[in-house]
Amino acid sequence: MVVRSNLHRFYIAVLIALAAFLVRVQAVQQLPVDYDEIIYLRRAQIYAEGIRSGNFSVLLEDDTPENPPLVKLIFGVVLATQPQQPPLDSEPGAPIASSLLLPARLVSVLFSTCGVFVLALLSPAAGIALALHSLHIRYASEAMLEALPFAASLFCVFAYRRSGRRWNTWLVLSAVALGITAASKYLYCIVAFAVLVEHVLIARRSSFVRELRVLLPWGVLALATFFVLDPFLWPNPFGRLASSLAFHLTNSDLSINNTKYVLWQPLLWLATPATQRAAVPSALDPFVLSAALLGVPVLWRRHRLFAFWLVMGVGFLFLYSNKWPQYPLAVVAPLCLSAGVAVESLRRRWSITEMLRVLRRRWAFVAAASVALLGCAWLAGLWHQGDPAFRVALQDAQQRIRPDEVLLFAPANPYIELAVRRSDSRTWDWSGARALSANQPMLDFHTANRWLGEAAQGRRGVWLLTYQALAGDPSDSLRTLLQRQAHELSPTWSQTYSRTYELTYFRFDAPYESITGTAAFGGAAVDASYGHPVGLNSDGCAQLRPARAGGLLEVSCLWRVEPHHALSWDTKISMRLFDVAGGQVLQSDQSIARSGLPTVRFDGVLLGNYFVPLPTDLRAGRYELRIFPYGGDGEYAPQVRMAVVVNGE
């Protein structure tokens, strides 16, 4: 009878996994390209080329050492079987050949399907919840790092429970799975701490020596597996591991992580669909989260190790400053299991009697507080009007706004959504809202120019309500475009509310006009040997529109900061204009970014927009603009040179 029941559960898990596979294959074909996919596939291309040529020394290097290389290596092995493609362009929105993207994504789908299968063995309802969870569908179906460590960490706990905490084949598999997890992405190693906590608690009630004899070999085998599967560490194990982990400690202190997102941001990611509806047939995430909160008492009684995993994982995500949307995936497995056991408990009784009886115990307060926290997070993060700081900023702007002005709301949480509110209206015009696509990591200059042209064209003033100014923040392009027409190239007034919102007022001498002609980057010569290196690179600069004497020379530069480097807060650029004879005509020194230094975005991209007032007696013709980054310790590499044109009257 037990064998038949196990077979029945196995067949159900297979069916659920098959359904999950089909859903993820659909997502592979419809999900837009994520910027991180370009980063990882670019490294996978290098590995693939090394495998083809027999130059295996490339396996010892990694230009993204903040994450272990195992998943990137697997992508590289797969790409080595495909036709060779030109190196990927790192520009946001750059095209990726299907022969690169699809094989890597299908590898992720296979790993993510395995994760669904393992969870379905524990609970069919949990397997269904995971199969339809949009956060898992998106990030475990893309060419990202998430699918393998998710499945490996889940199997680590599954095998550990099956081992009965005795040294056997299941415990060996659990240790190997933990090593694979660590060699794929550090975040998912939260499971190791959950296992450690349970082991210590059990040891207090039994023999500590016996439990240590089990736990110590398990940990040693996991570490050995991690080292074998991480060739990046082989040349200098301790030094490179310390450098890799130090990146996360440094990155967690970035201002963009500390001020852009709220403490409970992980709950917001878990409560909202992570993909477009065309790519995913359901949006059950809020219901899974709600059921999981109610199922915590049952999870504690039936699957205590998963309860430790869930509580410790959520606690870490709350405390860790990095709040990127894929990070909560580290707790989606125990979350779905909690939801699954809650549903199965209700199904068995066909009533809520058991749930009410359990909730009347000591967990009642925890469950009620969790539901209340979820409601607060929903209001504060998903519906901006529920935030008191937002209402205060809105009331302030409403009292100051003039009939010829417009109020724009661009929260950048997580992507720009631009809504318009006229001076004679009390409601936002959401029908005219604009939103970035899921694969667009930043609001580029051209898109911002078009949006503002639609929303503010002909207006004499604009009130911009955003999150507080950060270097590289998507809304920074909006501020820069408004700044180019404002008095003295600066906002007229700015005010912050709480630590969340910033209201900035721009008043113009003439009605707002969008830029009618733009130029692409790359028209500049970059001398990387100039000055001394500080990890700063440039993709070149562009003159945004024709310039006239007495007007403004508008230039935009795209800078990149290498991993593990940070620019000083006072980094500036010196813009020097030279005529055809080589004589310097003028000089203008400005900050390399409008605000937010000493650091930049996680992806290292920094867009600088600069305005140089031109003398009224400047002759029309061609000039050369030389741009010198510098700081308190001297001039930096690279130097950028570009041709500019000044038109006559």
Residue 519 maps to a domain: no
| Tens of pLDDT, residues 137-147 | 989 999 999 99
Residue 513 maps to a domain: no
Nearest to 560 by CA among 501, 638, 632, 467: 638
DSSP string, 428-459: -EEEEEEE--TT--S--HHHHHHHHHHHHTT-
Residue 518 maps to a domain: no
Per-residue confidence (pLDDT) for residue 378, from 0 to 100: 46
pLDDT band at 575 (very low <50, low <70, confident <90, very high): very high
Per-residue confidence (pLDDT) for residue 95, from 0 to 100: 67
Q: Which amino acid is at 94?
A: A
Same domain, 537 and 501: no
Same domain, 207 and 223: yes
Look at residue 635 and tell me whether its pLDDT is greater than 80.
Answer: yes
What are the backbone dihedrals phi and psi of residue 90, each rounded to the nearest 5 degrees, phi first? -80, 0
Per-residue confidence (pLDDT) for residue 283, from 0 to 100: 66
Rounded distance between C-alpha atoms, residue 136 and residue 400, angstroms: 45
Look at residue 373 and tell me whether its pLDDT is greater than 60.
Answer: no
CATH number at residue 563: 2.70.50.60
Per-residue confidence (pLDDT) for residue 158, from 0 to 100: 95
Average pLDDT over residues 576-604: 73
Residue 391 maps to a domain: yes
| Tens of pLDDT, residues 329-362 | 999 999 999 999 988 877 665 445 555 555 555 5
Look at residue 56 and tell me whether its pLDDT is greater than 50.
Answer: yes
Same domain, 334 and 448: no
pLDDT band at 89 (very low <50, low <70, confident <90, very high): low
Residue 443 maps to a domain: yes
pLDDT band at 261 (very low <50, low <70, confident <90, very high): low
Where among 335, 350, 381 does a domain terminate? 381
First to last CA, the chain: 93
Average pLDDT over residues 211-216: 79
> Is 509:487 a contact under the CB 8 Å cutoff?
yes
pLDDT band at 379 (very low <50, low <70, confident <90, very high): very low
The percent helix, strand, coil of the chain (3-state, each to 5) is: 50, 20, 30
Per-residue confidence (pLDDT) for residue 53, from 0 to 100: 86
Nearest to 232 by CA among 100, 73, 366: 73
Same domain, 496 and 537: no
As a whole number, the mean pLDDT across the chain is 79
pLDDT band at 534 (very low <50, low <70, confident <90, very high): confident
DSSP string, 6-49: HHHHHHHHHHHHHHHHHHHHHHHHHSPPPHHHHHHHHHHHHHHH
Rounded distance between C-alpha atoms, residue 133 and residue 188, angstroms: 18
Same domain, 45 and 91: yes
| Tens of pLDDT, residues 447-463 | 778 888 888 888 888 88
Where among 323, 346, 381 does a domain terminate? 381
- Tell me the C-alpha to C-alpha distance, in Å, between residue 170 and each of 174, 197, 338: 6, 19, 23
> Is 385:419 a contact under the CB 8 Å cutoff?
no
Per-residue confidence (pLDDT) for residue 20, from 0 to 100: 93
**Token pair belonging to 298:** 């049952």
Torsion of CA 289, 293, 297, 302, to 10 degrees: 10
Residue with token string 């979820």: 374
Same domain, 377 and 395: no
Average pLDDT over residues 234-248: 81
Report the Cα 388 to chain-centroid distance in Å: 26
Residue 515 maps to a domain: no
Rounded distance between C-alpha atoms, residue 248 and residue 257, angstroms: 12
Same domain, 176 and 30: yes
Per-residue confidence (pLDDT) for residue 153, from 0 to 100: 96
Per-residue confidence (pLDDT) for residue 624, from 0 to 100: 93
Same domain, 195 and 207: yes
Domains in the chain, number: 3
Same domain, 328 and 455: no
pLDDT band at 376 (very low <50, low <70, confident <90, very high): very low
Average pLDDT over residues 119-143: 92
pLDDT band at 584 (very low <50, low <70, confident <90, very high): very high
**CA neighbours within 13 Å on the CB side: how many for 535?**
15
Residue with token string 């994450």: 67
Residue 255 maps to a domain: yes
Look at residue 73 and tell me whether its pLDDT is greater than 80.
Answer: yes
Nearest to 217 by CA among 252, 165, 182, 269: 165
Average pLDDT over residues 350-379: 51
Same domain, 467 and 564: no
Same domain, 401 and 466: yes
**Token pair belonging to 243:** 């450098």
Residue 98 maps to a domain: yes
Most confident of the following: 64-68, 395-399, 610-614: 610-614
Pick the more confident residue, 449 or 432. Answer: 449
> Model pTM?
0.66
Residue 563 lies in domain = 524-647
Nearest to 185 by CA among 21, 312, 327, 48: 327
Where among 478, 507, 536 does a domain terminate? 507
Identify the weakest region by mean pLDDT among 174-178, 251-255, 289-293, 329-333: 251-255
Rounded distance between C-alpha atoms, residue 379 and residue 299, angstroms: 27
- Tell me the C-alpha to C-alpha distance, in Å, between residue 629 and each of 60, 484, 523, 640, 641: 33, 22, 18, 9, 12
Same domain, 47 and 6: yes
